[in-house]
Amino acid sequence: MKMPGIGDKTADVLLSSIHGQREAFVIDTHMERIAKRLGLVDKKASYKEIQGKLNEFFPWKKILKSKEERIVGLFWLLAKHTCRARNPKCNECILNEICDKVI
């Protein structure tokens, strides 16, 4: 983190590749958007707040370590392709019943 150009996300990408997502959950624009739309955090939440709330959202104790990357990857795909910034596909979303953004 002391190196120029290395921020929370970059550090977490490196750490998650070594230790897994439950230890260093990577927050990008898609993860931030879905966390806000689900009402897990407010619109001004920091990286660390979003990371903490998404970590709480995932039932890590029930997820096998061997399935961790796949589950987080599928959630990321949901965030990117269904919970899109423009024209989200709320009617197709498996989380629409718990989402604050439902149209």
What confidence tier does 50 reach under pLDDT thresholds 50, 70, 90?
Answer: very high
pLDDT in the model for residue 4: 82
Report the chain's mean pLDDT, rounded to a whole number: 91
Q: How confident is the model at residue 101 (pLDDT cuts 50, 70, 90)?
A: confident
* Domain range annotation of the chain: 8-92
Which helix (H) or strand (E) segment holds residue 12: the answer is: helix 8-19
Does the 8-92 domain belong in CATH 1.10.1670.10?
yes
Give, as one character, the DSSP assignment of residue 3: S
With 60 as the cut, is the pLDDT of residue 11 above it?
A: yes
- Average the pLDDT over 76-95 and give the result: 95
